[in-house]
Amino acid sequence: MKEIPKTHPRYASLITREKISQAVKNGIVHETGLIAHGRGEAFDYLLGEKTLPQADMAEKVSTAALLCAKSPVISVNGNVVALVAEDCISLADIIPAKIEVNLFHRTKKRIEKISKELSNYGAKKVYGQKADAKIPGLEHSRSLCDREGIYSADVVLVPLEDGDRSQALRKMGKTVIAIDLNPLSRTARSANITVIDNVTRAIPNIKKWGYKLKNFNKNELQALIEMWDNENNLRDMVSYISKRLNSLF
């Protein structure tokens, strides 16, 4: 990473790729996480690699939902920890919220490595190792969760998610906040609040809103949540991408 000059026009993108690559070598990210990252980066190109006003509003509403929650949980996987571990921990402290590791390609070793990585960055407690409960309706390893964490949460922030778990969490009656660069994905369409933004911008921005909204009363925050229309949000993001593509040619 030291060899990449800051003057390079793709500096931020190249640094992010290097972080993911190194995390694969360290056993934090599964090799398929590289594919997932590349897919997301392609959509970020379409968005212009910036946080749009619609995404900023989604991040504000997401913060309100987390602050109003009785038992909020930030669900993380290897990619999230490789890219925004410190920001996730800071956000969890601001809300406050629990952090739980949840993996599709789950092994005890990876769970332990990711949990240790979070602890090294300052996380006081990391959930996900007990796996003493299951999310109904899922047959793969993402169904495994901690009873005191995701299973008993009322609001779950799920960055870089696959859609079937978002749907299953919704069926459990939970409010799901998704961060997904693809507005057409099942994840984006099944969440209560979808942030169409790069996780490297979204988590710091939600953290920023956390500082700003922390002292708002619950009625003000609830009003923000109630005015939110996720279908319109996704429609606006698809429209933006379409118009931007047309303007380039």
Q: What digits encode the pLDDT tens for the residues 33-71?
A: 999 998 999 999 999 999 999 999 999 999 999 999 999
What is the pLDDT, as a whole number, of residue 160? Answer: 78
Residue 245 tokens read as 């593509």
Would you say residue 11 lies in a domain?
Answer: no
Closest CA to 195 of 244, 165, 157, 245: 157
Instruction: Give the pLDDT of residue 2.
Output: 61
The alpha helices in the chain, defined as continuous H runs, are: 11-25, 32-47, 53-68, 78-94, 108-120, 163-171, 186-190, 199-213, 218-226, 230-248
* Residue 87, domain CATH: 3.40.50.12640
The answer on pLDDT for 13 being more than 90 is no
- What does DSSP assign to residue 141? G
Domain-located, residue 243: yes
CB within 8 Å of 109: residues ≥ 6 apart = 27
- Domain range for 104: 53-248
In a domain, residue 202? The reply is yes
Give me the number of domains the chain comprises: 1
| Least trusted range by pLDDT, from 51-55, 100-104, 147-151, 157-161 | 157-161
pLDDT of residue 3: 77
On the question of a cis peptide bond just before residue 96, with omega within 30 degrees of 0, the verdict is yes
User: Would you say residue 237 lies in a domain?
Assistant: yes
The alpha carbon of 195 is separated from its chain's Cα centroid by a whole number of angstroms, namely 9
> Higher confidence at residue 105 or residue 156?
156
| 230 belongs to a structural domain | yes
Average pLDDT over residues 134-153: 94
What pairing do the DSSP bridges indicate for beta strands 144-145 and 175-179? unpaired
Whether the per-residue pLDDT at 213 is higher than 60: the answer is: yes
pLDDT at 1: 56
Nearest to 127 by CA among 139, 140, 144: 144
Residue 238 dihedral angles phi and psi, to the nearest 5°:
-65, -40
In a domain, 12, yes or no: no
For the residues 199-225, what does the mean pLDDT come to?
97
User: Average of pLDDT values for 99-123?
Assistant: 96
What are the distances in angstroms from CA 50 to CA 205, 207, 235, 246? Answer: 12, 17, 18, 18
Residue pLDDT, tens place only, 230-242: 999 999 999 999 9
In a domain, 96, yes or no: yes
Tell me what pLDDT residue 5 has.
78
Examine residue 64 and state whether it is found in any structural domain, yes or no.
yes
